[in-house]
Each structure stands twice: as C-alpha cells, then as structure tokens.
Amino acid sequence: MGLSSFFKNLFGSANKTSSKLADKAEIAVEQVKETAMPYLEKTEKFTQETFEQVKEASEPLIEKAESFSAEAKEVVSDYAEKTNEAIADVIKKVKERASDENTNKS
C-alpha cells in the first residue's frame, strides 16, 4: 500500500503544480497583452501614416510615368509606321532587282 500512496501523492502534487503553472502562465500572457497593446496601436498608426505619406509622394511620379508612357507610345507608333514603310520599300526594291536579274539572264 505504501507504493500506491506514494504514486498518488506524486501525481497529485504534480497535477497541482501544473495547474498552478498554467494559472501563472495565463496571468503572464494577459500582462504581456496589456503591456504590448499600446505599442501595437502606435505601430499600426505609424504604419498607416507612413503608407499615406508614400502614397501622396508617389502620386505625382505615377502621373508623370503615365504621361511619359503615353508619349513614348506615340513616338514608338510613329517609328513603327516609318519602319514598316522602309521595310516595304526595301522588299519592293529587292523584288525589282531580282526580277531585273531574272529578265537579264533570260
């Protein structure tokens, strides 16, 4: 009987100890939450303010980029048309020369 009462006491006291530790841990977690909350709120506010500042600062740059993009598209379009015409002229001349050479060989 002495051995069984030893184990009962051992596990009983371990259960009480773990229960006390769990209670202390829960209290500590609550204290950490309470302590950290103001810092989390400050961080959130700082993040929102920084995001707004970046957004405001980038708006003119985005507008400039859009304007530049439109201008670049026009310039490229003009050169594309000129390039197509030049290539068509080259092809036409090559065909004419090939035709002339075939005529001269006959």
Q: Spell out the domain ranges in the chain.
A: 3-101
pLDDT band at 63 (very low <50, low <70, confident <90, very high): confident
Residue 103 has pLDDT above 90, yes or no: no
Q: The pTM is what?
A: 0.41
- Between 67 and 105, where is the model more confident? 67
Name the maximum alpha-carbon separation found in the chain.
126
CB atoms within 10 A of CB 9: 10
Residue 1 has pLDDT above 60, yes or no: no
Report pLDDT for 2.
60
SS3 102: helix
Pairwise CA distance, residues 88 & 27, whole Å: 83
pLDDT band at 49 (very low <50, low <70, confident <90, very high): very high
